[in-house]
Amino acid sequence: MKIALIGNQNCGKTTLFNQLTGSNQHVGNFPGVTIESKVGYIYKDKNLELIDLPGIYSLSPYSKEEVITRDFLIEENPDVILNIVDATSLERNLYLTLQLQETGIPLVVALNMMDELEKSHLSLNLTRLKEFLKVPIIPISALKKEGLKELVDQVKNVQQNFSICYYSDDSKLYPFIAESENLIVTDYKESKINRLFITTQILEGNLEFADKYGIAQDTIDKLNKLKSKIEQSYNLDCEAVIVNFRYQVIEKIIDSCLKRETFETEEQKRSRKIDRFLTNRYLAFPILFLILGSVFYLSFGVIGNTLSTIFEQIIASFISFIDVTFFYDVNVVLRSLVIDGVLNGIGSVLTFIPTILVLFLFLSLLEDSGYMARIAFIVDKPMRFFGLSGKSFVPLLLGFGCSVPAVMATRTFNSDRERRMTIFLVPFMSCSAKLPIYAVLTAAFFGNKAPFVMMFLYGLGIVVSLIFSLIVKVLFKSVPPPFVLELPSYRFPSLKSTGMLMKERCKDFLKKAFSIIFLATIVVWFLQSFDLQLNYVTDSSVSLMAMMAKSISPFFQPLGFNQWEIISALITGLIAKETVLSTLQILLGSIDTIHQLLGPLEVMSLLIFILLYMPCVAAFAAIKRELHSTFDAILHMLLQTSIAWLCAYFFYVIGGLLI
């Protein structure tokens, strides 16, 4: 049995999915967290396959997620739709329910957040709601695990959904609908999707279902004539007529089922009070800076740094222990591979795990508490000046962690312009993989001024992004569309969900360290230990790597660095940015040797280039996937590398003049 879990954004789908399947998907208090569908089995029963689909508000394809869900219904033929509805905002949720009902696919409604509804002063007449909708409705609380067993029993035993037709109550619209439905009688083949639904979809102008179910062009033309009649008779677009009708039905349902003593749940009331303070006209920005400032200060400074230092010592003693115990008397090539290549390379990357985890901990706390959505709201206005909108802020912020999830987070955008722009700018944010490079190089050259240099680099990434987007805004006179962001209620972040997210991140990072970076360290070690004749060389300046790097060094000459060791590091950085550091480590023997190659000005130019040049392969893959075009993705890479070159060049030239 294939069960599709469908509902609005933020109504608890993923929470329910996790409870039913025992899986660990991320639950976030931010609309649009579920961007890909996930599959699990209810109570481990292989006969009950549950698919978590992205949150949507209707089946009319206005946004990407709605297209995903609609295509799912067309292509995958689910046996049952489990429609999860947020009981505390029925009005908004029921639109989707009505549309799902029209499809004719067996439907069970899970009325979620009942715990909150009970706390509020709303009273819902469930019996009447059931009479109206004529489908099974099970009140549940996904969070408190209430009503889940009843829900599963109902899903197992659900009957065919009797083609409920609200339209028959409307004497003006119904004749049109009935006539349209008759028109497709001959073309329509018996299937899980009702004739009524295909009819309304065509009348609303969505032809995908008609295509799939083989409705002839001829019939569609006839339907279009009828559509014009409807439009004349209502003096309104046909789609609007149908949409309005559904809203009238909802109004009727709400009027008779829901009694309001107050308009807000306790939680919403509390949120409003908190918002009066946090999104206050004067306080919003100082608070935002304070919060983000502390997050970055704590993760990169106090906590992350301390933990990293401890971790580093542990790793170093581990490596020297291995070295002394096992490689005392072993072949030099093997020893050099294991100790200098693999262990030191991976070790230098692993030391940054604590910092990255702490950063992700804070970001996920911000998201779960509901504050992340407020950030988008607060920063919208200033970002519009630069031709961006508040919506871009969250992906850009995530970009400080890793470009891959950041690029993926743009999937919920409706505007293509904004999506492309945000995807382009994300790699300019210093991702956590660049942090180790900054940390080590600035510490080597700038001593106790290093934190300021790091701040400058982080800031520069932001400034370059803003300038770029401002240029696009002015040149092409294009601005992002206004957006409606629903502000979720503030909730206390759940430790379990946060813990799970951190575990995931840690796993991701370790997987990367032990696959890509592991491979990279071996390749790097190989390229720098052997020459063209595949002889083992002790002097790596005659190695394969040196030859490759030397051939492209003229390109870097104007930036103040053209040493093959550094260029090799930049090349391997494309595999994963952390690798820049491990390569330098391998090639120079010790990072301190870099003083013989570069001065402070050259290092700054190098750091700026590292900040801005094209992102790693993982990010490239994500960008390519989101843009649906290898060509566009390559264009992004070239443009980014050019911007990096120009910025480093200007800095080097101007810096040279000043000094």
Select from ligand GDP, Mg ion, none the partner in contact with residue 312, using the beta carbon and a kind-dependent cut-off of 5 to 8 Å. Answer: none
Q: What minimum distance in Å lies between the beta carbon of 625 and ligand GDP?
A: 22
> Is residue 34 at the binding interface for Mg ion, with CB under 5 A as the rule?
yes
Question: Which of 417, 491 has the CB closer to ligand GDP?
Answer: 491
Nearest to 59 by CA among 130, 126, 129, 6: 6
Select from ligand GDP, Mg ion, none the partner in contact with residue 10, using the beta carbon and a kind-dependent cut-off of 5 to 8 Å. Answer: ligand GDP
Q: Which stretch binds Mg ion (CB under 5 A): 34-42, 198-206, 365-373, 540-548?
A: 34-42
Tally DSSP H helices, then E strands, for the chain. Answer: 31, 8
Contacts of 131 (CB under 8 A, 6+ apart): none
Select from ligand GDP, Mg ion, none the partner in contact with residue 170, using the beta carbon and a kind-dependent cut-off of 5 to 8 Å. Answer: none
* DSSP-derived secondary structure letter, 190: P
What does the block give as tokens for 301? 């400074």
Give the helix, strand, coil percentages of the chain, each rounded to 5.
70, 5, 25
Q: Which stretch binds Mg ion (CB under 5 A): 6-14, 194-202, 253-261, 287-295?
A: 6-14
Calpha distance 11→82 (Å, rounded): 13
> Is residue 141 at the binding interface for ligand GDP, with CB under 6 A as the rule?
yes
> Is residue 34 at the binding interface for ligand GDP, with CB under 6 A as the rule?
yes
Other Cβ atoms less than 10 A from the Cβ of 292: the count is 15
Q: What minimum distance in Å lies between the beta carbon of 455 and ligand GDP?
A: 33
Q: Which stretch binds Mg ion (CB under 5 A): 28-36, 255-263, 349-357, 426-434?
A: 28-36
Q: Which stretch binds ligand GDP (CB under 6 A): 21-29, 102-110, 248-256, 410-418?
A: 21-29
Nearest to 31 by CA among 275, 279, 372: 372
Contacts of 496 (CB under 8 A, 6+ apart): none
> Is residue 491 at the binding interface for ligand GDP, with CB under 6 A as the rule?
yes
Which residue type, as a one-letter code, is found at position 271?
Answer: S
Calpha distance 592→585 (Å, rounded): 9
Question: Which of 33, 284 has the CB closer to Mg ion?
Answer: 33
Which residue type, as a one-letter code, is found at position 210?
Answer: A
Report the alpha-carbon angle 143-397-475, nearest 5: 130
Q: Which stretch binds ligand GDP (CB under 6 A): 3-11, 42-50, 198-206, 435-443?
A: 3-11
**How many chain residues bind ligand GDP (CB under 6 A)?**
22
**Contact map string, positions 142 to 171, toward ligand GDP, x by CB under 6 A:** xx----------------------------
Question: Which of 33, 107 has the CB closer to Mg ion?
Answer: 33
> Is residue 33 at the binding interface for ligand GDP, with CB under 6 A as the rule?
yes
CA distances from 355 to 44, 309, 327, 364, 460 (A): 37, 10, 32, 14, 21
> Is residue 394 at the binding interface for ligand GDP, with CB under 6 A as the rule?
no
Calpha distance 286→132 (Å, rounded): 50
Q: What minimum distance in Å lies between the beta carbon of 266 and ligand GDP?
A: 10
Q: What minimum distance in Å lies between the beta carbon of 624 and Mg ion?
A: 25
- 82 within 8 A of 110, measured Cβ to Cβ: yes
- 85 within 8 A of 36, measured Cβ to Cβ: no
Question: Which of 28, 78 has the CB closer to ligand GDP?
Answer: 28
> Is residue 9 at the binding interface for ligand GDP, with CB under 6 A as the rule?
yes
Pick one of 3, 21, 28, 403: the residue that binds ligand GDP (CB under 6 A): 28
> Is residue 108 at the binding interface for ligand GDP, with CB under 6 A as the rule?
no
Pick one of 8, 14, 348, 489: the residue that binds Mg ion (CB under 5 A): 14
Q: What minimum distance in Å lies between the beta carbon of 5 and Mg ion?
A: 9
Rg, Å, the chain Cα set: 29
Other Cβ atoms less than 10 A from the Cβ of 628: the count is 8
> Is residue 14 at the binding interface for ligand GDP, with CB under 6 A as the rule?
yes
Pick one of 116, 367, 380, 418: the residue that binds ligand GDP (CB under 6 A): 116
> Is residue 572 at the binding interface for Mg ion, with CB under 5 A as the rule?
no
What does the block give as tokens for 130? 């059931």
Q: What minimum distance in Å lies between the beta carbon of 55 and ligand GDP?
A: 5
Buried b (16+ CB within 10 A) or exposed e, 189-211: eeeebbbbbbbbbbbbebeebbe
Q: Sign of the CA dihedral 318, 319, 320, 321?
A: positive
Given the rule CB under 6 A, which residues bind ligand GDP? Answer: 7, 9-15, 27-29, 33-34, 55, 112-113, 115-116, 141-143, 491
